[in-house]
Amino acid sequence: MLKKIVREPLVHFLLLALAIFAVYGLFEGASAKKPDSIEVSVPKIEQMVSIFVKTWQRPPTPGELKGLIDDYVKEEIYVRQALDLGLDKDDTVIRRRLRQKMEFLADAETPVPTEADLQAYLDGAPDAFRIDGTVAFQQVFLNGQQRGEAVAQDAAAMLATLTGNPGADLSALGDATMLPPEMPLSTQASVAQTFGPEFAAAVARAPAGTWTGPIASAFGLHLVRVTDRVEGRVPALDEVREAVAREWTNDRRRELEDERFAELLKSYTVTIARLPGDTASQ
């Protein structure tokens, strides 16, 4: 009779179910003893609400807030499971993000410069903050392609006319061009963008108040009269305070990062494998 009962499929199923239940009970008991707790704190909820308000310009409804919290709990569980499985290992994106966070921590420790710090920084690197000089000028254009070999002779004759009659009508002289006949006060870089760097450098050296030339550009020849010039100068701190503070902070941040990394490096032994055929260190 007992043998017959043991052979019944239903008995086999019940025994298997009891075994599964017992194993599940063991795991359930173990997890009950050591739960992996997740705390959704008040500051965290306030952060969720703040981000929601900035995005949607209104506070979340109770249902939306519950959804935000549920999503956070799901994310936290998945993140912990992923870390347990080692999914963060050798992931380029995660490694870069962790490095960024370490650098952000270093940025938070960068001190605020004093007035003396900024002045000393400006005094130590005046050229970095120099205000470029500017020049204003008039120009008469001669098209070398149209005038051919006579362009130099024509330029000399026209220069003589302009020198003898400074009030001459410039529109009646020279050749048609899209280039501006007059340039307001402009930096050398700005002039170079319009006429070319060699022309801009020549104008920067030209005397003020008199016609001079011809000065060559990529377009042809030009007769030029500098009408105004403002020399470059090192500004006072008040004029460039924001730029000086930004550069001071960037330099100090790099210095602190290098110092901090040098200290961290002391705790590690770095071994770099030599590639096959590498003779650089031999």
pLDDT digits (tens, 9 = 90+) for 124-148: 888 888 888 899 999 888 887 777 7
Query: Residue 268 belongs to what H/E stretch?
Result: none
- The pLDDT, as a whole number, for residue 116 is 92
81: left (phi over 0), alpha (psi -120 to 50) or beta: alpha
* pTM (two decimals): 0.49
Run of H or E residues at 141: strand 134-142
Q: Which of 270, 177, 184 is nearest to 217 (CA)?
A: 177
Three-class SS state of 183 = strand
Q: Which of 75-84, 223-232, 263-272 is the most confident on average? A: 223-232
Work out the angle at residue 66's Cα, subtended by the Cα atoms of residues 60 and 67, and round it to the nearest 5 degrees.
85
pLDDT at residue number 176: 81
Q: What's the rounded mean pLDDT across residues 25-43?
A: 63
By the 8 A CB rule, do 154 and 222 touch? no
Write down the architecture of domain 132-165+172-230 according to CATH. Answer: Roll (3.10)
Residues of the chain with pLDDT > 70, as a percent, come to: 83
Q: What is the mean pLDDT of the chain?
A: 80
pLDDT of residue 57: 92
